[in-house]
Amino acid sequence: MKGKTMTTKTQTPTVPEHGETVFIPLNKLKRHPQNARKTPHSEASIEAKAASIAAKGILQNLVVEPETDAEGEPTGCYLVSVGEGRRLAQLLRAKRKEIKRTEPIRCVIDTANDPAEISLDENVTREDLHPADQFERFRELAETRGWGAEEIAARFGVTAHVVKQRLRLGAVSPKLMQVYRDGDLTLDQLMAFAITEDHARQEQVYEHLSYNREPWIIRRDLTASNVAATDRRAILVGAEAYSEAGGTIIRDLFTEDRGGFYEDAALLDRLALDKLEGIAGQVQEAEGWKWVSAHIDWPHAHGLRRTYPQPVELSEAVETAHDAAQEELERLSAEWEDADVDLPPEVDQRFAELEAEIERIDGRRHAYEADEIARGGVFVVLNHDGEARIERGFIRPEDEAPEPEEEEAEDSSTVIDGVRVNVDGEIMGGDEHDCDGHPVSDHGPEDEDAEDDGKPLSDSLIRDLTAHRTLALRLALGEQPDMALIAVTHALAAQTFYRGGGDAHCLEIRPTSSYLASHADGIEDTAAAKALEDRHAGWAADMPRDVAELWGFVAGLDHASVMALFAHCASLTVNAVKQPWETHKRHAVATADRLATAVALDMTAHWTPTVRAYLGRVTKAQILTAVRDALGDKAADQIADRKKPEMAEAAEQLLAGTGWLPPVLRTGRPAWLADERQEAPATGDMPEAESAEATEDEAFPVAAE
């Protein structure tokens, strides 16, 4: 009204009535101090709620109470009794600029109930959805809506991996899902069944389960006919090639499966052999061998002679190119040795080019002779690490070069002064007779005077003289250890590396090498066998072509090389195989034990206790003894009531990485170590001594004694 002064009065906020649904700005909502949940919501929970709200909105109203000040007047804010998690989720969305901080939130006013009670009631009386229902509903979303794991994950605030796990669980046989609902299967057991989506296979394994339903047993039975991705065949073929050929890889989404399991073993075998045959064909085409043969396993007892590449003298131009590349590589290495930054691309490429050039030229320093390639062949075998193992230079018996025939000299001999000699002037036969058949030794002095001064010495005299020479050589050689080493090494190498080398030495030493593949199946496909073959091939490539030149080769080696060659040849004669009928070899077996101690043999580097190698071939009592030795009574008792196959499988997992060995493979401690322990003080305040003892135990493993 005109001319009248108006006074302004602060208005009290209007308070909605109990039960009324209102929209309240997000920044006006607060956590109720009487909320029953004192443990904060997890970040994952808030993330999931935020994703759900972003996709579908807030499906359940918040329950709030008006906030009042000390005088009981409304402040305009509201305390959230029920729905604190949803409030925090919206705050997270506001922080991410997805919504404004004033975003209206639908709430129900409750001024009648006790806030603490309804907050508690909200969390106590609510029943979560059964996991089986979750799994099946996720599966339905994927099938009916066509949503992938990423989209479902975004709508529910979980990771795509979690969604994939739930989808896989939802694909378990409905029969087994009902067993899970009824409580007769645990979630861990259900996850084990989810390793495959084959319902028939799942149900078959379930029907044949014994009382022991460990998840690992279920996985083992479901994948019994499959091939692990760590298998050498799978490594060679690769997942992509296998899948392109129509193969299926089973993946375990709940454990570390290291690449899964290849479902079709026969397909994998065919693909592996095809790839090996392809490599063999490339080798034959590039190198010209008469034949090639591809195998997944090493072909046992092929009985073929083997040749090795021999040194080849390169031309001056090639040697010059090698030296130039080596010098440039050394210069670049010195130039960039202290550089703290990554090499420039052009420098890195130049390094690779120089290394490839040097390797290419070095590869030409040894080569097979054309005749050996024309008659010989190559085995291409799948190595233990999944790589193709190419072994060259094998000669089949039918391809061997014919031995030169010795000419018969029926009428080529003649009698000279009563002695029959051949065309080379050598004495024929061991006894000398004259033309009348009388021994020449019966001739009198008058006959000897008449003999020609150029008559050869008699066989008996030569034997006499060379016997004295042999005696003298034995005496002299025994006084010269270095030369004895050369002589023995020559004798061993002649018979180890040369066909018919047994008559190329004068020491009556005969090395014998037992064929181990006849005692242990698959032993030639192991890493140890490959390492030994590589060492042998390295020496064979250095040997002179003619065995007559071997002495000069061995004598010309430095001492360390002679010792290395001697050790290699000697190593091939080791035979520590125990045969039940060879009772006379008890001293040899004892010596093998002493040899193992002397060389500090660690069998844990070459052998592990698997079902195939040991546990499946011994009694239950021996399995339990192994576990007890390695891990104690408690671990053994855990598997003591199982059937033999299950016990062996469990023991393999328990013993993995423990270094346990059966007594026959254990290496005894050397005497010097035992002596040092006896001399060591028994006080318990010497950590250095304890540390040294632990180190020595590692050097001479005896496996949980």
Lowest mean pLDDT among 109-113, 172-176, 461-465: 461-465
pLDDT at 378: 93
Name 573's Cβ contacts closer than 8 Å, sequence gap at least 6. 511, 512, 513
Residue 250 tokens read as 């089973």
pLDDT tens for each residue of 193-210: 988 888 998 998 998 887
* pLDDT exceeds 80 at position 461: no
pLDDT of 447 reads 52
- Residue of 686 and 151 predicted with greater confidence: 151
Query: Can you spell out the DSSP letters for 248-266?
Result: -EE--SSS--TT-EES-HH
DSSP letter at 504 equals S
What digits encode the pLDDT tens for the residues 353-405? 999 999 888 888 888 888 989 999 999 999 888 999 898 989 888 888 776 55
Position with higher pLDDT, 434 vs 538:
538
Q: What percent of the chain has pLDDT over 90?
A: 21
**CA pair distance 260, 257, nearest whole angstrom:** 5
| pLDDT tens sequence across 585-639 | 677 777 778 778 878 888 888 888 988 888 988 899 999 999 999 999 999 998 9
- Considering the domain 20-125 in this protein, what is its CATH number? 3.90.1530.30
Determine the 3-state secondary structure of 415 from DSSP: strand
**Quick one: pLDDT band at residue 545, thresholds 50, 70, 90?**
confident
CA dist 522 and 508 (Å) reads 34
How far apart are the C-alpha atoms of 394 and 141, rounded to whole Å?
A: 62
In the predicted model, is pLDDT for residue 578 greater than 50?
A: yes
Report which of residues 150 and 420 the model is more confident about: 150
Residues forming beta bridges with residue 349, ordered by sequence position: none
Determine the pLDDT at residue 405. 57
- 136: which residues sit within 8 A by CB, 6+ positions away? 170, 177
**pLDDT tens, 305-338?**
888 888 888 888 888 999 999 998 888 888 887 7
Query: Minimal CA–CA distance to 155: which of 83, 59, 84?
Result: 59
Q: Which of 115, 12, 123, 140 is nearest to 71 (CA)?
A: 12
Alpha carbon distance 555, 558 (integer Å):
8
Report the pLDDT value the prediction gives residue 139, as an integer from 0 to 100. Answer: 82
Q: Is the pLDDT of residue 691 over 60?
A: no
Instruction: Name which of 391, 379, 388 is nearest 236 in CA terms.
Output: 388
Distance CA 646, CA 643 (A): 5
Of 250, 527, 256, residue with least CA distance to 389: 527
| Cβ burial, residue 628 (10 Å; 0-12/13-18/19+) | middle
Contact between 30 and 80 (Cβ < 8 Å): yes
Lowest-confidence segment of 108-117, 447-456, 612-621, 661-670 by average pLDDT: 447-456
Domain map (residue ranges) of the chain = 20-125, 272-395, 459-607
Residue among 24, 2, 1 nearest 13 (CA): 24
Residue with tokens 């080569």: 367
Confidence class for position 411, pLDDT limits 50, 70, 90:
very low
Reduced to 3 states (helix: H, G, I; strand: E, B; else coil), residue 490 is: helix
* Locus of tokens 């423990």: 658
Arithmetic mean of pLDDT over the chain: 80
The CA-CA-CA angle for residues 208, 211, 215, to 5°, reads: 80
Which spans in 63-159 are helix H?
Answer: 84-95, 115-124, 131-140, 149-156
Instruction: Choose between 471 and 150: higher pLDDT.
Output: 150
> Going by DSSP bridges, is the β-strand pair 291-295/376-382 parallel, antiparallel, or unpaired?
parallel
Map residue 2 onto helix, strand or coil: coil
